[in-house]
Amino acid sequence: MKDLGRLSIEAFKSSAKTPVALILDNIRSGLNIGSVFRTADAFALEKLILCGITARPPHREILKTALGSTDSVDWLYYEQSVDAVEALRQSNWSIWAVEQTTGSVLLQDFVPQPGIRYAFILGNEVHGVDSALLPYCDGAVEIPQFGTKHSLNVAVAAGIVAWDLVKRIRLESSFT
C-alpha cells in the first residue's frame, strides 16, 4: 500500500473531504452497503448516513465488501430517514434524491455550487427513494439510462454519482 501512495486511516480522517454525503435509505443488502463504504473512501466523501433497515458495521456482509473502509469513512445511523434529512438540512446541506421522478435533473446537467455541501439519497433496491422524502429534497438527479430496465444497482448508482461529483468538485473546479 505504501508503494501505491495510500493514506493511513489516521491521515485519511484528517484529509480534505469532498463536500458530499450519501444517505442510504432502507438498503437491504449488506454487500451493497459495504460497496458504498468503499466508494465513499475512494472519493473521500464527507460521510455516509445509514437509515432504517440499512445494516450497520460490523455486519458481516458489509465488512466483506467494505474491505476496511468502515474504519476510515465517517458514518451515522438514523432509524428514520426523514430525521437524517432534517438534521442535514439544519446543518445547511442541500438534499437531493437520486431517483427517476417528475422534475428530476439529468446528472450531467446538475451543477454543484461552491460552498454548498450536498447529500444524495439512494433508495431501497426494490422501491427506490421513499416518496415521503421527496418533499424534503431540493431536487432529484437522474442517471441517464438507455437499456430496457431503467434501473441500476444501488452501489453502482452511488459510484456513478460520487464520481461525477468528485470530477466536477475536486478535479475540474477550484472551489474546494
CATH classification of the domain holding 137: 3.40.1280.10
DSSP character at residue 156? H
Q: Report which DSSP code applies to 108.
A: G
Domain assignment of residue 143, yes or no: yes
163's enclosing H/E stretch is helix 154-166
Does any domain span residue 65? yes
Give a yes or no: residue 2 inside a domain. no
Residue 44 sits in which domain range? Answer: 9-171
**pLDDT tens, per residue, the chain with 176 residues:** 567 788 999 999 999 999 999 999 999 999 999 999 999 999 999 999 999 999 999 999 999 999 999 999 999 999 999 999 999 999 999 999 999 999 999 999 999 999 999 999 999 999 999 999 999 999 999 999 999 988 999 999 999 999 999 999 998 865 54
pTM: 0.94
Alpha helices in 28-97 (DSSP H): 30-42, 60-66, 69-72, 81-90
Q: Is 176 domain-assigned? A: no
Confirm whether 3 is domain-assigned: no
* C-alpha angle 101-128-51 in degrees, rounded to nearest 5: 125
- Tell whether 4 is covered by a domain: no
Total number of domains constituting the chain: 1
